[in-house]
């Protein structure tokens, strides 16, 4: 196998179980704001509407068309509006709770710590994430991830988001390494995998749900502990 000198990780949905943490937040918010009594049929339906608006707003945010503050409130405002709720106080409250509550508990994928403990003495580990700086910092703090990573790059700090080459170059400069000696582990075929391939970096596709695809990836895993066999 090719020898790698540096390993990069994505954070959300790769190390941090973003969906489990979001489920927990939505559960709490649904009862806190009494959404069931305000005409929202169920939490599942609310989530479906939210995901649709959130995906759209994130695509705008990734292109730099809207600010993160706008994204953060709008996704709740638009979702609430779908159910005829125009109380802006609720949208603001939810947007504040969401970025806070979802980091109150540790939501890591199975085997995350064990794998990081194995890799840390063997390779310098780095992180590249598109998430908001203060939110990602909370996750890092709560899960005590700082001890494993030599460098952390957020898109907010780099001023550019994955899959743009700029953020990979920014992160590699910080890590003092080049693409051909590095590999990235990520869950997103476009943002992580194609993004890395475009700058000549090998990739490990973390695919816990076994999504079918035709991408040409260097390695594919369904559980983080498989990294112990690869590296
Ligand atoms: Mg991800």
Span 23-28, mean pLDDT?
Answer: 91
**Mean per-residue pLDDT over the chain, rounded:** 94
CA of 84 to the centre of ligand 1 (A): 32
pLDDT for residue 64: 86
pLDDT for residue 231: 97
User: Is the pLDDT assigned to residue 101 strictly greater than 80?
Assistant: no
- Return d(Cα 91, Cα 191) in angstroms, integer: 29
pLDDT for residue 62: 81
CA of 95 to the centre of ligand 1 (A): 21
pLDDT digit string (tens) for 52-94? 999 999 999 888 899 989 999 999 999 999 999 998 999 999 9
CA of 87 to the centre of ligand 1 (A): 32
Residue boundaries of the structural domains of the chain: 6-17+108-230, 19-101
pLDDT for residue 116: 98
CA of 186 to the centre of ligand 1 (A): 6
pTM, rounded to two decimals:
0.87
Residues lining ion ligand 1 (Cβ < 5 A) are 10, 12-13, 187
Q: Which fold has domain 19-101?
A: DNA polymerase; domain 1 (1.10.150)
pLDDT digit string (tens) for 33-47? 999 999 999 999 999
- Return d(Cα 98, Cα 175) in angstroms, integer: 31
pLDDT for residue 82: 98
| Least confident among 10-24, 163-177, 191-205 | 10-24
The residue with greater pLDDT, 63 or 175, is 175
CA-based R_g, the chain, Å: 18
- Residue 14: name the closest of 191, 230, 165, 218 by CA: 191
User: Is the pLDDT assigned to residue 103 strictly greater than 70?
Assistant: no
pLDDT for residue 211: 97
CA of 54 to the centre of ligand 1 (A): 15
* 6-17+108-230: CATH architecture: 3-Layer(aba) Sandwich (3.40)
The CA-atom distances, in angstroms, between 68 and each of 12, 134, 153, 164, 168 are 17, 12, 17, 18, 21
- Return d(Cα 228, Cα 223) in angstroms, integer: 10
User: Is the pLDDT assigned to residue 131 strictly greater than 90?
Assistant: no
- Residue 82: name the closest of 47, 33, 125 by CA: 47
pLDDT for residue 104: 65
What angle is formed at CA 181 by the lines to CA 177 and CA 183, rounded to 5 degrees? 100
Contacts of 162 (CB under 8 A, 6+ apart): 10, 128, 130, 155, 168, 188, 191, 192, 195
Helices (H), 7-67: 18-32, 43-62
CA of 15 to the centre of ligand 1 (A): 8
């Amino acid at each position: 196998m090719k020898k790698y000198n540096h390993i990069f990780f994505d954070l959300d949905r790769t190390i941090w179980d973003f969906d489990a943490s979001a489920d927990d937040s939505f559960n709490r918010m649904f009862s806190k704001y009494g959404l069931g009594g305000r005409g929202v049929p169920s939490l599942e339906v609310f989530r479906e509407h939210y995901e649709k608006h959130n995906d759209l707003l994130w695509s705008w945010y990734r292109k730099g068309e809207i600010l993160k503050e706008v994204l953060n409130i709008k996704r709740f405002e638009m979702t609430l509006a779908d159910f005829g709720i125009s109380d802006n106080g609720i949208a603001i409250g939810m947007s504040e709770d969401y970025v806070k509550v979802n980091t109150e508990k540790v939501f890591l994928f199975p085997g995350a710590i064990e794998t990081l403990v194995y890799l840390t003495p063997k390779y310098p580990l780095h992180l590249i994430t598109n998430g908001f700086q203060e939110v990602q910092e909370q996750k890092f703090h709560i899960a005590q991830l700082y001890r494993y990573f030599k460098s952390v790059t957020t898109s907010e700090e780099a001023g550019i988001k994955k899959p743009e080459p700029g953020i990979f170059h920014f992160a590699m400069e910080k890590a003092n390494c080049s693409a051909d000696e590095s590999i990235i582990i990520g869950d997103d075929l476009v943002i992580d995998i194609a993004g890395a391939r475009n700058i000549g970096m090998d990739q490990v596709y973390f695919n816990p749900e076994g999504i079918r695809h035709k991408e040409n990836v260097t390695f594919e895993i369904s559980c983080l502990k498989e990294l112990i066999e690869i590296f």
